[in-house]
Structure 1
Amino acid sequence: MKLNINQAINFGKNILIAQGVPVDIALDVSQHLVCSDQVGYTSHGLSILPTYHKVLSKGFLNPNGRPELINDQGTVLGFDGCRGFGQHIGKVVVQEAIENTRKHGQCTVTVRNAHHLGRMGFYGEMVSEAGMIFLAFTNVINREPTVAPYGGKEARMTTNPLCFSLPLSDQYPPLIVDMATSSMAINKARVLATKGMKTEYGSLIDASGNPTNDPNALFTDPPGALLPFGAHKGYALGLVAELLAGILTGGGTIQPKNPRRGAAMNNMFAIVIDPTKVDSNSKWIKDETNAYIEYLHSCPPQPGIDKVQYPGEFEAANRSRNKDFVEFEDSIWENINQLADKLGINTPN
């Protein structure tokens, strides 16, 4: 199924409104999801709406939730997400951090108790468009753990994503690093399972702790687990994200004394920096950045690789390719369409 961008946004918005979500929140969420589809991350796009429906119907997600400022120290802002849609909470919170950075040159911002924040690169792109640098650490609570620690047989962690973004010159799209500290995001595994596809070995283990390439192993009873990316290195970064996001926000960690009601909630610890306050020589910054990106691009590619890219070029290329339309595979579209039918929402023609 192929939809133009406005059709896709309105379709997602209407599905959310039909579930009692205010119009402005529904629009923020749908824009975020469609943007994920545009840049090539189907797992965080409109395909996730059936999962959100389940969480809404169980009362775990507050359709009216908006960020509440709980800590304001100028260069430090803290928010409670009030169990609201993370895509709305995150957009508002990051925009506040950008405004504070314009005043002070930097801002540390925390948010706790937000439902799934979505694709973290979206916020990195927001910050880059403002000419600033973004460093964010996120953990996942209120659900069962999904990631085994390095050497472990059972899950004790979650996907705990990292996001770093850096604006480049006008010649290049921003550098965007958006990655789970696990081998993959749980939603990506869910999409692969829906499509009947396999993962690479080394990405997950089954319930007995044995390596497998079947993503369905994550959804058995008892479940298997994702593995950290890069073995002990990804494990270490995931632990850093767990503690920074879980402790400094006041939102807590995945440790078993905290609630696990089955609905993923995010805490985020982030820093926004105005690079011109660190070095006021903007011409030198631009020239040096261009020189290094050109140096990377000049690297001869390995056999079977077209060219060397930096993080962010993949998203930019997909956004350009999908600037007018997004296309959904049949299995994914069927799930979205079934939800729309259930809610009485007309499918776009």
Structure 2
Amino acid sequence: MSTQPQDTPPIPEGELTELGMRAFESLGLPRQDAADVVQVLVLADLFGLSTHGLSRIESYGERLSVGGINPRAHIRVERPAPGLRLVDGDNGVGPLVGMHALRAAMEAASECGIGMAFARQSNHFGPISPYGLIAAEAGYASIIGSNATTTIAPWGGTDARVGNSPIGFAVPNPGGAHFLLDMAMSVVARAKIRNALKAGQEIPDTWATDAAGKPTTSPKAALDGFLLPIGGHKGYGLALMVDLFAGLLSNAAYLTHVKSWVDAPDQPQDLGHFFLLIDTRRLGSAQWLTERMNDFARILHDSAPADPARPVIQPGEIELAKMARQKEQGISLSAEVLALLRRHADAPAA
């Protein structure tokens, strides 16, 4: 399915949120659970991350319909230590598990100044930046990560044994733009290669290799091969670190133990996530943090740009500007995604 916005009228955030909730309710989720899922996905669309927004109802919906995801997950939170939370997602929809883990980490950080939640028995939980924004708005700096289906070969290897495990960082600015960095460990997301295949377009040869490990411009060969990590062996090492925290320490699946949602849609993935939060209010006042964050951004902005048409920015500024614009003007979705949402929303509840 194409996820690029087409010529459809922008939809008000509230209207799209209600449509998304009805769609997920029809797939069997209780209304409050649907609200958690849709909050993350609508934020992704507000940021302009259309490959990770409500378009995900296609893959999530397929797995819900074949029993690969539990629509009525009973999520449990354990407290092994004051600053630690262990979250069992009961194979629920990923953003639902993610929101429970985020709230658990917030609770721990509120109590201890720093808190960490490890989640297991989860699924694809959307992009990281929505969680980072929610945490930042509440005054928490965060480091958040998730493991993923294996799509990257070990450095120097010839088969996929490493996930394209994303990590995100966020630092709040109470009186300005929050710092938001959200990145996977590959040069591009696999979804961009799938979109190129559907559009009949070639890809840069720096994105992926074919099955023999050779760089390719063919999206089909790339999907049969491996994604290339950012920074070569350094990106490989970062991907392993994220999987150690998100998968191994969370007691979730890791590396090749993670099931592919494409190859085995009816099987639980047992993905893991981690949420490390710091209560910045324990470090200083809102005025203190605002002054330092604004100065931090100013130092970057004052660098003369190599291209006058592309001024220096801080991570998160593009997404926050898109969010502000779409909150005012409405959210753009592709006609295909909108039709699928409406089809689910109008179907009888599962």
**TM above 0.5:** yes
Per the TM alignment, residue 319 of structure 1 is displaced from its structure 2 partner at its CA by: 0.3
Separation in structure 2 between the aligned mates of residue 88 and residue 105 of structure 1, nearest angstrom = 25
Is the aligned partner of 1:288 residue 2:292? yes
Which residues in structure 2 correspond to 1:231-310 (within 5 Å)? 231-256=232-257, 261-262=264-265, 264-277=269-282, 279-280=283-284, 283-303=287-307, 305-310=309-314
Separation in structure 2 between the aligned mates of residue 31 and residue 270 of structure 1, nearest angstrom = 18
Per the TM alignment, residue 289 of structure 1 is displaced from its structure 2 partner at its CA by: 2.5
Q: CA separation of 1:169/1:299 partners in 2, compared to 1, >3 Å: closer, same or farther?
A: farther
Separation in structure 1 between the aligned mates of residue 56 and residue 200 of structure 2, nearest angstrom = 17
Q: Report the equivalent of 1:200.
A: 204
Separation in structure 1 between the aligned mates of residue 241 and residue 342 of structure 2, nearest angstrom = 40
CA RMSD of aligned residues (A): 2.3
Q: Report the equivalent of 1:93.
A: 101
Equivalent pair of 2:46/2:327 in contact (CA under 8 Å): yes
Separation in structure 2 between the aligned mates of residue 284 and residue 15 of structure 1, nearest angstrom = 44
Separation in structure 1 between the aligned mates of residue 322 and residue 200 of structure 2, nearest angstrom = 24
- From 103, 107, 110, the equivalent of 2:115 is 107
Structure with higher RCO (Cα < 8 A, 6+ apart): 2
Is the aligned partner of 1:24 residue 2:32? yes
Per the TM alignment, residue 58 of structure 1 is displaced from its structure 2 partner at its CA by: 1.9
Q: Report the equivalent of 1:320.
A: 324
1:296 match: secondary structure: helix
Separation in structure 1 between the aligned mates of residue 79 and residue 110 of structure 2, nearest angstrom = 19
1:323 match: secondary structure: helix
Equivalent pair of 2:19/2:341 in contact (CA under 8 Å): no
User: Deviation per CA, 1:284-310, whole angstroms, max 9, x where unpaired?
Assistant: 443332222111100011126421001
1:146 match: secondary structure: strand
Per the TM alignment, residue 209 of structure 1 is displaced from its structure 2 partner at its CA by: 2.0
Per the TM alignment, residue 117 of structure 1 is displaced from its structure 2 partner at its CA by: 1.1
Unaligned segments of structure 1, at least 5 residues: none
Q: Report the equivalent of 2:219.
A: 215
Equivalent pair of 2:88/2:121 in contact (CA under 8 Å): yes
Q: Report the equivalent of 1:190.
A: 194
Equivalent pair of 1:150/1:227 in contact (CA under 8 Å): no
Unaligned segments of structure 2, at least 5 residues: 1-7
2:145 match: secondary structure: strand
Per the TM alignment, residue 127 of structure 1 is displaced from its structure 2 partner at its CA by: 1.1
Equivalent pair of 2:40/2:131 in contact (CA under 8 Å): no
AA partner of residue 151 (structure 1): G
2:78 match: secondary structure: strand
Equivalent pair of 2:71/2:92 in contact (CA under 8 Å): yes
TM-score (norm 1): 0.88
Q: CA separation of 1:189/1:8 partners in 2, compared to 1, >3 Å: closer, same or farther?
A: farther
User: Deviation per CA, 1:5-36, whole angstroms, max 9, x where unpaired?
Assistant: 22222222222222212111122212321221
User: Deviation per CA, 1:78-103, whole angstroms, max 9, x where unpaired?
Assistant: 11111101212211221222122122
User: Deviation per CA, 1:119-143, whole angstroms, max 9, x where unpaired?
Assistant: 1111111110111110122112xx5
AA partner of residue 230 (structure 1): G
User: Deviation per CA, 1:37-60, whole angstroms, max 9, x where unpaired?
Assistant: 111100111111111121112211
Q: Percent identity?
A: 29
Equivalent pair of 1:203/1:229 in contact (CA under 8 Å): no
Aligned length: 334
Q: Report the equivalent of 1:229.
A: 230
Equivalent pair of 1:116/1:265 in contact (CA under 8 Å): no
Per the TM alignment, residue 344 of structure 1 is displaced from its structure 2 partner at its CA by: 4.3
Deviates more, 1:189-198 or 1:112-121: 189-198
Separation in structure 1 between the aligned mates of residue 39 and residue 293 of structure 2, nearest angstrom = 31
AA partner of residue 315 (structure 2): P
Q: CA separation of 1:343/1:314 partners in 2, compared to 1, >3 Å: closer, same or farther?
A: closer
Separation in structure 1 between the aligned mates of residue 210 and residue 39 of structure 2, nearest angstrom = 36
